[in-house]
């Protein structure tokens, strides 16, 4: 007798609580193997394929492409042991607790400590045959449209909402979650329900008969764009940085003529090409070795500054999905050639939407080359919970006093935003001055190696 197993959207890790269905990879009636990807979802950090830990016949799908689902919401049901289906793995208690095979997301591996916190998958006791699959599909509830708010009974149990982002959205906009009927499974309140409540017409306040109320220009003409996905994550991260970090910025102009000449000479001898960003990254790692205060983080709970032993260098990459900050691991031990190759690899993955959350987290210092946008300067916002970010403007010909004479040189503006809790201006100025000296005379970097 086949057993119908319900597979729910798994814990995506890295604090992610919801995902948007981008593309279904299976249809109702398809036979799937254990750990076969069944749906492609987009989180606030990356696009990933979700494998199903059960093998059998797909009997139902929950959610349409473009719909957001919270972690724990049903994705599909699978008839394990149905005719024509591959044999499923034996149902072991440990597997049942961890969600089947344990391979939750491609490229993530199995995190047993995280999976142990998941709710046990509940088998559905129903007989399913190949002929009965269409009937199960018809019985599956369709994706519900966002529901308008309805009066709620006072003092009735906990609010059925999982996602803390949904709670925050409701709290920030004054929406009473108890007044909503959730469109998710078992009445679960989704982001779409809160957004629907925000769009719903509000009862107009009584106005004097002799004073007609003029329509608000914002309400009449404004366009509302949901602050979600990458944009929502960036907004939350930058807001947290501004709330928690007392930052300050210093900047300096530098003559990059010798650096550009050194790069041209290095690329002229053959071999892998070296990017300007890679040379700046190599300079940053050398500067952080001299000023380790800036490769640190603040532990507010312990009241301590934590200096980090390795430099995991984040760099800003603009993509169609928005600003991404991939991280180059152990940048302090990489050559300019290795840094160039890693920057190129991560940038390509970012533009293809294939970065994993692991590629986007764990940074200790960020390098932001905003000169690619044709601007000279900026005041970067620190990538929380890091302690500093170096910004680099465009490198352009400008008048410059060189060797006591006026000349046209390749000039760049460098700006450093730093957490004033980890160091004072002397340290930040020393770091920035060392970076500028290396840009102006690459031999300074060679002497320090």
Pick the closest to residue 22 from 318, 353, 360, 355 (CA basis): 353
The DSSP H or E segment spanning 281 is helix 276-290
The DSSP H or E segment spanning 304 is strand 304-307
Give the pLDDT confidence score for residue 158 in this predicted structure. 57
Angle at which helices 276-290 and 257-268 cross, to 10°: 120
Listed as own residue / partner, the contacts of 168-173 with beta carbons closer than 8 Å and 24 or more positions apart are 169/194, 169/195, 170/194, 173/198
Asked whether the beta carbons of 261 and 400 are under 8 A apart, the reply is: no
pLDDT digits (tens, 9 = 90+) for 224-267: 888 877 677 778 888 999 999 999 999 999 999 999 999 999 99
Number of helices (H) and strands (E) in the chain: give both, helices first.
12, 19
Q: Taking 80 as the threshold, does the pLDDT of residue 438 lie above it?
A: yes
Q: What does the alpha-carbon distance between residue 16 and residue 233 come to, in Å, rounded to a whole number?
A: 10
Catalytic residue among 112, 312, 384, 420: 420
Higher pLDDT pick, 288 / 23: 288
Higher pLDDT pick, 17 / 398: 398
Give the pLDDT confidence score for residue 220 in this predicted structure. 54
Residue 206, both tokens: 């009584």
Please state which architecture CATH assigns to domain 3-139: Beta Barrel (2.40)
CB-based contacts of 240, cutoff 8 Å, min separation 6: 384
Give the pLDDT confidence score for residue 305 in this predicted structure. 96
The DSSP H or E segment spanning 440 is helix 425-440
Q: Do domains 144-200 and 246-448 have the same CATH topology?
A: no
**What is the biggest distance separating any 2 CA atoms in the chain, rounded to whole angstroms?**
90
Give the pLDDT confidence score for residue 84 in this predicted structure. 53
Residue 39, both tokens: 């749906």
- For tokens 């690619």, name the residue: 372
Asked whether the beta carbons of 400 and 411 are under 8 A apart, the reply is: yes
Q: What does the alpha-carbon distance between residue 305 and residue 295 come to, in Å, rounded to a whole number?
A: 10
Helix (H, G, I), strand (E, B) or coil at 398: strand
Q: Taking 70 as the threshold, does the pLDDT of residue 381 lie above it?
A: yes
| Four-residue CA torsion sign, 70, 72, 73, 77 | positive
Give the pLDDT confidence score for residue 345 in this predicted structure. 95
Q: Please identify, in words, the CATH class of the domain defined by 246-448.
A: alpha beta
Would you list the DSSP string of 225-257? ----HHHHHHHHHHHHHHHH--EEEEEEEEE-H
Q: Taking 70 as the threshold, does the pLDDT of residue 431 lie above it?
A: yes
The lowest-confidence range among 40-54, 144-158, 171-185, 382-396 is 144-158
Rounded average pLDDT over 397-423: 96
Q: Taking 70 as the threshold, does the pLDDT of residue 391 lie above it?
A: yes
* Domain 144-200 annotated CATH 1.10.260.40: no
pTM, to two decimals:
0.59
Burial track 115-125 (b if 16+ CB lie within 10 A, e otherwise): beebeebeeee
| 312 counts as catalytic | no
For the chain, what are the domain ranges?
Answer: 3-139, 144-200, 246-448
Report which DSSP code applies to 221.
H
């Amino acid at each position: 007798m086949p057993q119908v197993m319900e597979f729910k959207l798994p814990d995506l890790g890295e604090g992610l609580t919801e995902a948007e269905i981008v593309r279904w990879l299976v249809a109702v009636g398809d036979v799937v193997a254990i750990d076969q990807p069944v749906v492609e979802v987009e989180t606030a950090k990356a696009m990933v394929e979700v494998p199903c830990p059960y093998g059998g016949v797909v009997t139902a799908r929950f959610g349409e492409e473009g719909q957001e689902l919270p972690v724990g919401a049903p994705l599909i049901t699978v008839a394990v042991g149905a005719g024509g289906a591959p044999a499923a793995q034996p149902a072991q208690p440990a597997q049942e607790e961890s969600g089947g095979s344990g391979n939750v997301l491609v490229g993530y591996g199995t995190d047993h400590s995280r999976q142990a916190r998941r709710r046990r998958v509940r088998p559905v006791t129903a007989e399913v045959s190949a002929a009965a699959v269409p009937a199960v599909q018809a019985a599956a509830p369709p994706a519900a449209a966002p529901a308008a708010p309805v009066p709620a009974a006072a003092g009735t149990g906990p609010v059925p909402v999982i996602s803390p982002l949904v709670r925050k959205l409701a709290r920030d906009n004054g929406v009473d979650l108890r007044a909503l009927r959730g469109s998710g499974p078992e009445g679960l309140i989704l982001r779409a329900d809160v957004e629907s409540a925000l769009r719903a017409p509000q009862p107009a306040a009584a106005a004097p008969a002799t004073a007609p109320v003029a329509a608000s220009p914002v309400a009449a003409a404004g366009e509302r764009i949901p602050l979600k996905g990458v944009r929502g994550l960036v907004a939350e991260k930058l807001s947290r940085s501004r709330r928690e970090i007392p930052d300050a910025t210093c900047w300096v102009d530098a003559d990059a003529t010798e650096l550009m000449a050194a790069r041209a000479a290095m690329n002229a001898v053959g071999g892998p090409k070296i990017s300007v960003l890679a040379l700046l990254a190599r300079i940053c790692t050398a500067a952080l070795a001299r000023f380790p205060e800036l490769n640190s983080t603040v532990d507010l709970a312990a009241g301590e500054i934590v200096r980090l032993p390795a430099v995991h260098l984040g760099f800003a990459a603009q993509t169609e999905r928005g600003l991404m900050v991939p991280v180059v691991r152990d940048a302090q031990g990489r050559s300019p050639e290795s840094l160039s190759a890693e920057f190129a690899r991560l940038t390509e993955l970012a533009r293809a939407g294939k970065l994993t959350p692991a590629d986007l987290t764990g940074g200790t210092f960020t390098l932001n080359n905003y000169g690619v946008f044709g601007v000279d300067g900026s005041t970067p916002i620190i990538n929380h919970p890091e302690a500093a970010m170096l910004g680099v403007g465009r490198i352009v010909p400008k008048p410059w006093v060189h060797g006591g004479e006026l000349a046209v040189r390749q000039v760049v503006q460098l700006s450093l935003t730093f957490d004033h809790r980890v160091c004072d201006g002397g340290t930040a100025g020393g770091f920035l001055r060392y970076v500028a000296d290396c840009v102006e005379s690459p031999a300074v970097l060679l002497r320090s190696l």
